[in-house]
Structure 1
Amino acid sequence: MHRCRLARVAGRGWAAGDRTGILLGRDDSTLREALSLLVRRQGGGDMRHGGLVLDAGMKLGALRLGLRLLRSPPLILMYHGVTRSARPDGLRNLDGKHMPQDIFASHLRLLAKYRRVVPLQTLVDGLGTGEDMRDWVAITFDDGYENNASVAAPLLADFNMSAAFFLTTGFIGTDRCMWTDRLEWVLDLTQRTELKLPGGGGQLSIVSLEDKSRALARLKTLIKGNRTWRPEEIVDVVADQLGVSASPAGSDYRFMDWDQARSLAQGGFEVGAHTVTHPILAHLSPEAARAEIFDSRDAVWREVGQCSPTFCYPNGKSSDFNAEIQALCHQEFRSALSTERGHAALQDLWGLKRLCPAGPGKGENLEWLLLRAR
């Protein structure tokens, strides 16, 4: 159905029956019209037909052609980790936060062919110059996982690509892990079948993997939304309730050490601050927020000898930082990164938007992410 519609739009420019996926358009404007329709259709929220359009686009080679013909605004891509594991292990990494290395390598090949990857600071500095920044892409990594240094950085070096790594400095060189990761670990290992939610929030079944995934999402939402709870203490309570005493060690939960952070900087990568303990800054007092931001920056300077002039907000949604937090960052930084979705723009300098290519079922579709950025 959609293939026929695209054929009508492009006239004789579409070879609908060509299994090689080659477009035979007579001119670029015709192809742009057809490809724009494809992108709008997929991006318009049509859940009944979106999968069909995506499948048709893949088979016809439209996405790769679209990357050549349809320019995109400057973009900042957000990753967290790159794993050597080909697939999730139970609940662990079921959300796709750590991308398989073969998919990450495919992203880099795609970017090398169709986009211009630049250092983050080059992109940020360019926002105020009026320079033509179409198709510019900067790559960022949040948190400071060990696989950033051992897996992602060598792949980036193979492609001669830059990236910026933002470190949660209180975890670097320690056995600590994020409370979200520990919660994932606890739910994955438990043999219990029910979970009592903290704060009298009811009870959930945790029998199946799907049950555990829903429970994990519910717990994260509850904990992040409560300003008075200490996340680590809540996870302690959950772990005790579910009979899991061990903490995750090794694998993709592990953080890099300072030697690895220094090696990143020596390799030409940007290294920056992401707070000390990864709190939601808007939940803190001004004094505590200042300490999280500036102590993190100071640790990066002290240990690495440099610190990115861009700060990276933990969690990073617009509700997670406010005008006071932005004013604090303004004292020592030149810009800040959020996790809000969109392209990089000068008006968002203290909450620069990013796109996340990771996640369940998303890693393979970087083409759509780039094409839909407008």
Structure 2
Amino acid sequence: MKICVLGLRGLPHVMGGVETHCEQLFPLMKGLHPDDSFTIIGRKGYLPEEVSEYHGLRIVSLPHARGKHLETITNTIFGVLYARFVLHAELIHLHGIGPALMAPVARALGMRLVVTYHSKNYEHHKWNRVARFILRIGELCAVTFGERVIAVSQCLATDLKQRFPKAAAKIYFIPNGATHINTAKSAAFRSNDVLARYGLEENKYIISIGRLVPEKGFHDLCRAFRTADLDCKLLIVGDADHRDEYSKRLLQQASDRIVFTGFISHDRLQILLQRASLFVLPSYNEGLSIAALEAVGAGTPILLSDIEPNRDLGFRMENYFRVGDADDLRRKISQDHELYGVDRDKALQQYNWDVVAAETARVYSTLQAHGREGKPGSLSLKHRAFNSGFGTLAAIGADRWLRFLARGRGVILMFHHVRPWRPREFAPNRGLEITPEFLDVVLTELRQEGFDIIPLDAVLDRARPGAAAGRPFAALTFDDGYRDNVEHAWPVLRRHNAPWTLFVTTDFADGRGRLWWLELEQAIARLDRVVLRGNGELRDLPSRTMVEKGAAFEAIYRHLRAGPEERLRAITADLAAQAGVDTRRLTANLCLGWDELQTLVREPDVLIGAHTLSHPILAKCDGTTAMREIAESKELLERRLGRPVRHLAYPFGDASAVGPREFRLARQAGYVTAITSRPAHVFPDHAAHPHALPRTSVNGLFQNTRALRAQFSGVPFLIWNRRRILKIEC
């Protein structure tokens, strides 16, 4: 495939966030797809040669008008025409909402189109009203004509999905990376030369990086530094592309203590980051700051303004100050800079360019794909039906005009993991996780759609025949007892005053339970070949590429779910041992322990429910084992937590996992309600079957408002259940 990249000044060694992003990303993309050709279009004013090569990429410099208002768009116009009529490109990748003004032209010329959304450029102070209006049109062009839109921060992706719900399905969050900073410190003699050039001493200067434009907030930093009594210097790395009054006023503050370097090479920047005592980013507007990620990679303590994209990085509160508040910034930089250290290894794992490249390549592949069944990330038949149904219902408005028939009295929602997005090449269980930002969207949508969010204890009273219909209800339930439910979901739930129920598997709380579906994922991720033996059969599955790993996981998962429980656990334990997966550590790291549960149960908005002892497929257990799993988990939770346990969630919960026997056992064990995962809304008829209540999943497969509104209407489930209200005889 011929791919053309537009929207950057150029590469290599051109300073800027978009430029660094492309310089790191596209050589890796070329490595992943060596048969594809990548052409990077740059601007003549920044590139010395008309045509050059860089790590397998072809770099072409094209003309552009001078001046900040026309430079980008004129170069993009030339670039789109060059891509179509000279390169005969099949796919064009635009970076930024300014270049996205040419998105309709690129599509009209027959090229596939991906747009990366780096920041809300129309919020930059350097633009006048006309320019800001035009940039907003560029944003609209990006989400309207872009076939895929990549946002570099979670908050940008969430915001786009909320403002452009019809485009939500094609908006992806893929962050910038941090792994391009060399972890080894440069040679001492070279470092000393660089420090001497700017009159610096190691660990005796604060560094900040960026273009000299108002939204970077350097005026706040200079003011805070001047009023602080510090025995160090302030180093500002960067310059203005187009010298204006702001940059001139800023440069006039240069002194023995405030040093401006102008644009510098990446090697020199790395040395300056590694020797600084603190990195400060005072920005008013960012996408996901590569400068901040570079500081993390260099091991430098960091202090950031508290704008949402910076908070997306997930550092401690100590690492942030109030944006625009020079006094708060002064107080922060006057403290011991070591207080602002961050977990470098964790950040490098989360912001890894190799994974960013793999995720971007996957986005490309979705434009090329035809008949992707059986490949990693493909949806099951049921999920494909729901996914198509959500879009169709939204398009014809059926989720609005049929909801009075399908919504019933309310809905019980099921969640599993709630945690920040983590870029991973192989993640077959990603459907079990959503982000905290999407949970916020869920709760906001529920309120906007007129739902009362109620505790699970109140569901039967609201569902009973004869109860006042009133507003529909929603009950929130979280399965398995994951720690991220407390760390990431609970703050969002508190903010919305939303009660919730946590269903706990007691073996997980003990730290000895088996998260076998995650063990299987981690084992396949590590193994190049998966061999299963037993019952006179041999399965030998290749597992080198992402496609092979996805196929292996799906085949093994289906095979294990169809067989006996004992064999399922034995095989996953064997594969985990082969791959070196520490199953106990996996459970201990992910699941809440008893001490944490004892603290949580005291909270008035939290209910603890039972999720069995060991999370088995109950229908595969004999009667004695099934009763023990159901009854003893209730008794154990009540004994350890000192609270009555009134509700049960069946593990897996579908028709293959639970049936009339389990419903009867739950009633005999004394539960008030027991909940399946059979998708439907709750109707008055369900009140007669409280141990077989339906529940709908809010999962990672459908993280968009279109899908949410369809789910909340109940229409897809009424159709899926063939217009029958789900009733199960116990």
Give TM-score, length-normalised by structure 1: 0.76
1:367 aligned to which of 709, 717, 720 = 709
Deviations 1:349-372 (A, max 9, x none): 221111112032445521121122
From the superposition, tell whether residues 211 and 368 of structure 1 become closer, same or farther in structure 2 (CA, over 3 Å). farther
2:139 corresponds to 1:139 = no
Report the AA paired with residue 594 of structure 2. Answer: W
From the superposition, tell whether residues 81 and 198 of structure 1 become closer, same or farther in structure 2 (CA, over 3 Å). farther
Q: Distance in 2 between matches of 1:216 and 1:252?
A: 24
Q: Can you give the 5+ residue segments of structure 2 that lack an aligned partner in the other structure? A: 1-143, 145-162, 165-382, 719-730
Give TM-score, length-normalised by structure 2: 0.41
RCO greater where, 1 or 2, for CA within 8 Å and sep 6 or more? 1
Question: 1:152 offset after TM fit, Å?
Answer: 1.2
Equivalent residue, structure 1, for 2:273: none
Larger Rg: 2
Q: Distance in 2 between matches of 1:253 and 1:243?
A: 18
Equivalent residue, structure 2, for 1:237: 574
Equivalent residue, structure 2, for 1:227: 564
Q: Is residue 511–residue 587 contact of structure 2 (8 Å, CA) maintained in 1? A: no
Question: 1:70 offset after TM fit, Å?
Answer: 8.4
Bigger mean CA offset, 103-112 vs 342-351: 342-351
Deviations 1:162-199 (A, max 9, x none): 11111001111426441111111111222x14544755
From the superposition, tell whether residues 156 and 109 of structure 1 become closer, same or farther in structure 2 (CA, over 3 Å). same
2:620 corresponds to 1:283 = yes
From the superposition, tell whether residues 180 and 128 of structure 1 become closer, same or farther in structure 2 (CA, over 3 Å). same
Equivalent residue, structure 1, for 2:78: none
2:599 aligned to which of 258, 263, 270 = 263
Deviations 1:24-72 (A, max 9, x none): xxxxxxxxxxxxxxxxxxx99599x868747857xxxx69977998882
Report the AA paired with residue 544 of structure 2. Answer: V
1:293 aligned to which of 600, 619, 630 = 630
Q: Is residue 429–residue 521 contact of structure 2 (8 Å, CA) maintained in 1? A: no
Q: Distance in 2 between matches of 1:217 and 1:133?
A: 44
2:452 corresponds to 1:116 = yes
Equivalent residue, structure 2, for 1:340: 678
Equivalent residue, structure 1, for 2:294: none
Q: Is residue 173–residue 255 contact of structure 1 (8 Å, CA) maintained in 2? A: no
Deviations 1:289-337 (A, max 9, x none): 2211122111211122224322111111123223332222112112210
Q: Distance in 1 between matches of 2:483 and 2:621?
A: 28
Q: Is residue 510–residue 594 contact of structure 2 (8 Å, CA) maintained in 1? A: yes
2:653 corresponds to 1:316 = yes
From the superposition, tell whether residues 70 and 157 of structure 1 become closer, same or farther in structure 2 (CA, over 3 Å). farther
Q: Distance in 2 between matches of 1:339 and 1:291?
A: 21
From the superposition, tell whether residues 271 and 196 of structure 1 become closer, same or farther in structure 2 (CA, over 3 Å). same
RMSD in angstroms over aligned alpha carbons? 3.4
Q: Distance in 1 between matches of 2:549 and 2:439?
A: 27
From the superposition, tell whether residues 66 and 197 of structure 1 become closer, same or farther in structure 2 (CA, over 3 Å). farther
Percent identity (aligned)? 23
Q: Distance in 2 between matches of 1:248 and 1:360?
A: 28
In structure 1, the residue corresponding to 2:700 is in which secondary structure? Answer: coil
Q: Is residue 418–residue 436 contact of structure 2 (8 Å, CA) maintained in 1? A: yes
2:447 corresponds to 1:105 = no
Bigger mean CA offset, 130-139 vs 327-336: 130-139
Equivalent residue, structure 1, for 2:494: 157
2:559 corresponds to 1:218 = no
Q: Is residue 177–residue 253 contact of structure 1 (8 Å, CA) maintained in 2? A: no
Equivalent residue, structure 2, for 1:349: 690
Q: Distance in 2 between matches of 1:359 and 1:239?
A: 25
Report the AA paired with residue 359 of structure 1. Answer: G
Q: Distance in 1 between matches of 2:505 and 2:391?
A: 41
Bigger mean CA offset, 201-210 vs 293-302: 201-210
Q: Distance in 1 between matches of 2:704 and 2:594?
A: 29
Q: Distance in 1 between matches of 2:630 and 2:587?
A: 28
Q: Is residue 87–residue 100 contact of structure 1 (8 Å, CA) maintained in 2? A: no
Report the AA paired with residue 233 of structure 1. Answer: A
In structure 2, the residue corresponding to 1:321 is in which secondary structure? Answer: coil
Deviations 1:175-225 (A, max 9, x none): 6441111111111222x1454475525332322223222322222222222
From the superposition, tell whether residues 295 and 238 of structure 1 become closer, same or farther in structure 2 (CA, over 3 Å). same
Q: Distance in 2 between matches of 1:234 and 1:314?
A: 19
Q: Is residue 676–residue 693 contact of structure 2 (8 Å, CA) maintained in 1? A: yes
Equivalent residue, structure 2, for 1:75: 411
Q: Is residue 270–residue 307 contact of structure 1 (8 Å, CA) maintained in 2? A: no
Bigger mean CA offset, 307-316 vs 161-170: 307-316
Q: Distance in 2 between matches of 1:97 and 1:137?
A: 20
Q: Distance in 1 between matches of 2:632 and 2:553?
A: 31
Q: Distance in 2 between matches of 1:224 and 1:162?
A: 33
